[in-house]
A and B are shown apart, each in its own frame.
Chain A
Amino acid sequence: MKLYDVCIIGSGAAGGVMAKELSEGGAKVILLEAGQEVDPSQFLSHKWPYQLPYRGLRGEKQALFYPKDIAPVRYEHCDPVGVDRIRVLGGRTLHWNAVTLRYAARDFRQGLLDGVDEDWPLSYAELEPYYDRIEQIIGVCGNDDHLEILPGGKHYLPPLPWRCSEHILGRTLKKLGIPLIDVRKALNTRPYDNRPPCHYCGHCMDGCDAAAIFTTPDCMLPKARATGNFTLRTNAIAREIRADREGQARAVSFVDRLTKKEEEVRARIFVVCCATVESARLLLNSRSPQHPAGLGNSNGVIGRYLHGHLGGGMHIYLAELEGVKPFNQDGATDHTYIPRYNQLFGKADYAGGWGIQVNFASYMFPYQAHDMAGYGPAFKERVRKMQPGFLFFGSFGKILARPDNYVTVDPNQVDEYGIPVPVVRFRFGRNDYALWRALKQSMLEIASNLKGTSFPHFGNSPGGFGSHEVGTIRMGKNPKTSALNSFCQSRDVKNLFVTDGSCFTASSEKNPTLTILALSLRAADYIKEQRRRGEL
């Protein structure tokens, strides 16, 4: 059986950059992906709702990314949170809005500065060169806004022009002392990386058929393939990673979704990039005499510290744009971003903050028709006249990393491939509730300063994650409360790395993908160096 240098499991942001870097570094790499490869010609991005069976209201546009044979997550004793179940070549890079934000220096030191969470085992200064590199690899539009809370780079593509609603919002926020900046997005606003620029159709989340948004298949895999060192296996569902007598990772067993055959891949190094819940599931299912609690889990940390983002949204219909002749506002969904600002207004009675994404909802559907009372001719006319003034806020706030929020597996409940399913247990804590209340109050205050009609969507309690879950196989300084060192390397299993969001020590309010990419790039450099030295 062939022995690869490196086996990467999962082809999302983390797996993609790892595959490119290690293939280019001369390693023989195999990448396993549970989902299928979907050619962009199959994307339904530009279909009208009435061209879809259920008008797109049942996820038809993304159906190819979410195959039905994926086992459901079982939620037990859980507050309302959802974890992403995407299974496709490219993972969430096919179904994302591409907002790419650097963590601030303070986000790595929340234990020291805020007395919550643990400090990361690396600093912003150590990760900064990787942020610089990855932004140049993937192409990010925006600006260095010289904000301490949101550090910037030096190589941005041109920012996106602002819509009228964003100019109105910017003026209002300025009066409140809150910044509004050009969004930073992994989006081509000019040709870059042999990929074309955005065509402003507003379908960033439906799969970008033009490859203007960064995805693993469009950006990373062509470079990996060009080396001649790269092998891809799609429809390969990892069952477990097997260990040798010394407890080192030896092989990964997987099921081919199409043939249902059990297969195995042997490699010298394994990099797990299946996303927060699935990566923990895989390691917890990888039990052996050497690793009775799961691979690399001698301290019982794997699965614990599940966290991510909480949030709420708001639809606002600006009076200044009411009744104007409809015009095309689609653009590239977000064009602006409200970076964390609560730290500008004194110390709060909770730790952490939130940022607000602006206008990442579709301009096609009049959401206010669901929120407004009434019916009949006046209702219909009001809906129509309000529509040009649409402005959308989507907030993401920090959740603390706590060990009692965790993922485990249930050997008594298996999916159709016989693999134990993940079980998620999550409760918001006191700090999370306090932050959510402050977030809600602040967004309502912003809305009250805008002339128009607003429809808050907060519910009665926080909702969580928004595909931003992190933290189940965390890196850390303390060997008792972490599974990985700062290079995403398992403390127990030297040839095992985990570079997706599960490696986060603690989260901030920033979207995690750029940090996942930077950490994976840094881990790739480390692996290359260790291989050169003969350590791996």
Chain B
Amino acid sequence: MKRRTAIKVVALSTLSSIPAAGQGFRVLGVAWDAGEYRLRFFTGQENELLDKLMEMIIPADAHSPGAQEARVSLFADLMVATSGDHVKEQWRKGLRLMREEAARSSLAGALAKAAAGEKRKPSSDLERFFTALKGMTVDGYYTSAIGIHQDLQYQGNTYLASFPGCQFPKLAD
């Protein structure tokens, strides 16, 4: 792992000090080595668009924050920046296609058009990009502290003295 990408684990108690998007930040239980994450692949404009799209895929609701607060676009930046040229090209082109489509209708319309291929085999670059975009959003959100703890309220990854088995008498034999 390169020094620039190294991260230091910090206590979850730092969650309360998440600053606004686009600034230097501590994200979701990790602190980036440089103290702030600088975009490595996406431009600021691309990141802004990506941030909006990801929030539309997994939005904040009454139950939990969404992809934006979980900083999923920055996770995407790291993953794409450390991928091969083909992947980088797909993301750059995909965001451009999204922007062009949004200019013709709206961002919501562009996302709906891109998602249309989800129930069949994607047949255009825009539809294929949606597959990558949604997959990255899912990966980034549900591996973030917000996704794991606040949204799913996952109870595991702990030390138990014994395993209780099924605690619903109606379901257990």
Contact = CB atoms under 8 A, between A and B. Distances in A.
Contacts of B119: 373
Nearest to B71: A50
Interface stretch (B16-24, B37-45, B55-63, B84-92): B55-63
Contacts of B30: 50-51
A531 interface: no
A111 interface: no
A449 interface: no
B128 interface: no
A492 B142 CA distance: 56
Nearest to A375: B57
Contacts of B153: 325-326
Interface string A206-219: 00000000000000
What is the predominant secondary structure among interface residues of chain A facing chain B?
Answer: loop
Contact of B6 (A53, A56, A199): A53
Contacts of B124: none
A380 B58 contact: yes
A375 B56 contact: yes
Given A48-B157, A54-B78, A365-B143, A370 B135 contact: yes
Contacts of A53: 1, 5-7
A317 to B, nearest CB: 13
A49 interface: yes
A387 B156 CA distance: 13
Interface in A405-457: none
Contacts of A202: 156-157
A162 B172 contact: yes
B165 A161 contact: yes
Interface stretch (A29-37, A253-261, A328-336, A351-359): A328-336
A50 B144 contact: yes
B173 A57 contact: no
Contacts of A149: none
Contacts of B6: 53
A320 B171 contact: yes
A57 B140 CA distance: 10
B167 interface: yes
Contact of A376 (B59, B171, B172): B59
Interface string A25-68: 00000000000000000000011111101111100000000000
Interface string B70-105: 000001001100100000000000000000000000
A325 B59 CA distance: 21
B145 interface: yes
Among A50, A161, A200, the most chain B Cβ lie within 10 Å of the Cβ of A50
A373 B112 CA distance: 12
Nearest to A199: B159
Interface string A369-385: 11001111101110010
B151 A384 contact: yes
B139 A55 contact: yes
B167 A327 contact: yes
B46 to A, nearest CB: 20
Contact of A365 (B1, B142, B162): B142
A162 B165 contact: yes
B118 interface: yes
B159 A51 contact: no
B143 A56 contact: yes
A71 interface: no
Interface string B114-141: 0100110000000000000011001110
B61 A201 contact: no
A364 B159 contact: no
Nearest to B137: A375
Interface string B8-22: 010000000000000
Contacts of B28: 50
Contact of B152 (A54, A161, A387): A387
A164 B138 contact: no
Contacts of B142: 365-366, 369
Given A161-B165, A164-B168, A380-B151, A57 B159 contact: no
A161 B163 contact: yes
A327 B139 contact: no
Contacts of B78: 54
B170 to A, nearest CB: 9
B79 A326 contact: no
Interface stretch (A76-84, A167-175, A241-249, A512-520): A167-175
12 contacts: A48-B157, A51-B29, A54-B82, A164-B171, A199-B160, A320-B171, A330-B157, A330-B158, A365-B143, A375-B111, A375-B134, A376-B59
Interface of A: 46-51, 53-57, 160-164, 166-168, 170-171, 198-203, 320-321, 324-332, 363-366, 369-370, 373-377, 379-381, 384, 387
Pairs A-B, 9 closest by C-beta atoms: A161-B165, A49-B143, A330-B156, A55-B143, A164-B166, A328-B155, A375-B57, A200-B160, A369-B138
Given A49-B143, A50-B27, A54-B78, 6 more contacts: A53-B6, A160-B163, A167-B166, A201-B159, A320-B171, A330-B157
